[in-house]
Amino acid sequence: MKNTKLLEITLLLASMLTILANAIIAPSLPLISETFKSIGNVEILTKMMLTLPALTIAIVAPLAGRLLDKVGRIKVLNASLLIYLLAGTSGFWLSDLWGILVGRFIFGLGVAGIMTVSTTLVGDYFTGAKREHFMGLQGAFVALGGLLFITTAGVLTDINWRYAFLIYAFSAIVMVMVPLALHEPKSNMERSVSSAEDSDAVPPIVWLAFISAFITTVSFYVIPVQLPFFLQRLEGVNGNKVGLALGSLPFAQAIASFFYKRVKMKLDFISIYILGFIPMAIGFCIIGFSVLYWQVILGVMTCGLGVGLLIPNGNLWVISLVPVHVRGKYIGMLTTATFLGMFFSPMIIQPVQKLVGMNTSFYVLGIALASLTVLYFVIRRQTLRIAIN
């Protein structure tokens, strides 16, 4: 049996490499655009550095999920960490914009594997209250990773934007720890269930968890993609300040995630979605009204409080709904929904920005999320009525 504390630390460190991994280079986007300004549509291409990995993840995550159900969690994790290391740092040693974009696309393969495996292993290793506690802790570490990596990227960007890509080398530490700390779950080796049985065992409401994950990431990913350009218009804002502003999102997210277990003791999954969307709606409205740097920080942190509840909530809900023998498959589908949201986020918000302007687009998003809480309230009442009958 592996050391339990070392196992937990390794899982948490692996989780830090996932959801906000794409956003690590966000503070450097304006400088990358300036470096390659001779290339047509460079601003759109630069933003694609954040969204291209999300497209790869969305495509391959279900395949990764099925693969880890067949060949094992640890093998997939080791391969994913190696891809993450090599492709993630490619922006440091590649000089061509198109080459960097290809590297970002391949980088998504690594993120897809790491995220699917790390979340699945939480379901494999832990049960009951311990699982709820660890899921909240995992959400907090995901956020703290974003805080640490994005703010560091802001500092490095002021030296040279290429240095921000070296942050992905943190994955080498996790690579060393995996064989020392993690083991293949026994339940993963001893299952024997037909595919028809797998299908029948999963309730249809799991699709609400997927849709909710998509909506969550469409919304919160507006911040790393759009905020560097929003802040450019404020006086005295440099790469370091952009990094701090972006880092305030995972800071607040971590605080909320730490308290997820307590919230879950009092509320069901759908109620937590309602609770999480409210601060996100308020936060986006604050950003839209902002004319000063500290006001932007306040808005971003308010959004982060909602995100900190929503991400562990979706992961735990799917784990609790699906049987162990198809856990990898359905966590892969959740990962797809999450990163499809990241990929489509700029495509959804950009037309709104062109129509109403950047500031007003934040109000529109805030109002949309506030309206969504009403819809979820109706869904919750309907679900309770069906359960009683």
Where do the domains of the chain lie, and which CATH numbers do they carry?
4-190+201-388 (1.20.1250.20)
| pTM for this prediction | 0.78
Q: Across all residues in the chain, what is the average pLDDT?
A: 85
Give the pLDDT mean for 57-76.
86
How many other C-beta atoms can be found within 10 angstroms of the C-beta atom of residue 266?
Answer: 9
Q: What per-residue confidence (pLDDT) applies to 209?
A: 93
Assign 276 a pLDDT band (cuts: 50, 70, 90): very high
Considering only CA atoms, which of 165, 162, 261, 280 is closest in space to residue 220?
A: 280
Mean pLDDT (whole number) for 40-61: 82
Q: What integer pLDDT is reported at residue 389 of this predicted model?
A: 54
* pLDDT tens string 194-248: 444 444 567 888 999 999 999 999 998 888 878 877 887 777 777 678 878 888 8
Predicted pLDDT of residue 230: 83
If one compares 263 and 158, the residue with the highest pLDDT of the two is 263
Is the confidence at residue 190, as pLDDT, over 70?
no
What percent of the chain is modeled with pLDDT above 90? 32
Alpha carbons 187 and 169: distance in angstroms, whole number: 32
More reliable by pLDDT, 233 or 33? 33
Banded model confidence at residue 2, pLDDT cuts 50, 70, 90: low
